[in-house]
């Protein structure tokens, strides 16, 4: 009995890593207005609201500095944001883990990502956009409609990438074309439900 309790305690302390599929109702979210979130930037304390980014494609990345999957994607996130610098695209990272703003800000500053990290204190924005795991990416078009939810690409480790879901979706939206994949499976640490 004691051994079982110790095993349960150990399991509870480990970050849950899962292959997550977006909830079934997400397909109905695609093409509809995205949740107009308003969240604080952890580095400057100023709120960022989705509706303030009108006329831009918004790439939202759910992120945690303690998530192993996120760490594997950091260079790819940074590179894509750099590739589109100065264009009609805004990149935002959202931490929905409930960690303190100070902890998140200190960790984010060392990453030099080139875009802000917002704090989703109770994971309400994650729930509203349908994000279930860290590394989930949501893309919102210039009209404020959700156009993509899922993985950044098809490789956890960044090797042998065959499908660049986010890059392809952004390119399609900039060209006025249909997003080739509107929803894909996500690998990452589960976003804790804190509503």
- How many helices, marked H, and strands, marked E, lie in the chain? 6, 9
Residue 194's pLDDT band (cuts 50, 70, 90): low
pLDDT at 84 over 50: yes
**Poorest-pLDDT segment among 8-22, 141-155, 181-195:** 8-22
- Supply the pLDDT for residue 153: 95
- For residue 36, CA distances in Å to 9, 111, 145 come to 38, 27, 10
176 phi, psi to nearest 5 deg: 75, 25
The separation between CA 63 and the C-alpha centre of its own chain, rounded to angstroms, equals 6
Half-sphere exposure of 101 (CA within 13 A, CB side): 14
pLDDT tens digits, 130-173: 999 999 999 999 999 999 999 999 988 878 899 999 999 999 99
- The structure tokens listed for 52 are 């303030």
Instruction: Assess contact for 92 and 59: CB atoms under 8 A.
Output: yes
Distance CA 183, CA 25 (A): 12
- Average pLDDT value for residue range 72-84: 95
- Average pLDDT value for residue range 39-53: 94
184 phi, psi to nearest 5 deg: -135, 165
- Supply the pLDDT for residue 8: 36
User: Which CATH number is correct for 27-189, 3.40.50.150, 3.40.30.10, 3.40.50.1100, 3.30.460.10?
Assistant: 3.40.30.10
């Amino acid at each position: 009995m004691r051994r079982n309790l110790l095993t349960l305690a150990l399991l509870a302390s480990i970050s849950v890593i899962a292959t997550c599929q977006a909830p079934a109702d997400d397909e109905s979210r695609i093409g509809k207005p995205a949740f107009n979130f308003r969240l604080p930037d952890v580095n400057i304390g100023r709120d960022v609201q989705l509706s303030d980014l009108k006329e831009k494609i918004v790439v939202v990345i759910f992120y945690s500095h303690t998530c192993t999957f996120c760490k594997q994607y950091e260079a790819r996130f940074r590179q894509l944001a750099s590739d589109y610098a100065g264009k009609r695209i805004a990149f935002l990272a959202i931490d929905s883990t409930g960690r303190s703003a100070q902890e998140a800000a200190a960790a984010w500053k060392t990453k030099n990502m080139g875009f802000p990290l917002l704090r989703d204190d109770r994971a309400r924005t994650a729930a509203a956009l349908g994000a279930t795991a860290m590394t989930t990416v949501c893309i919102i078009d210039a009209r404020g409609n959700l156009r993509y939810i899922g993985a950044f690409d098809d490789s956890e480790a960044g090797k042998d990438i065959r499908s660049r879901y986010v890059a392809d979706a952004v390119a399609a939206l900039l060209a006025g074309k249909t997003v080739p994949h509107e929803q894909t499976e996500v690998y990452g640490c589960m976003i804790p439900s804190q509503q």
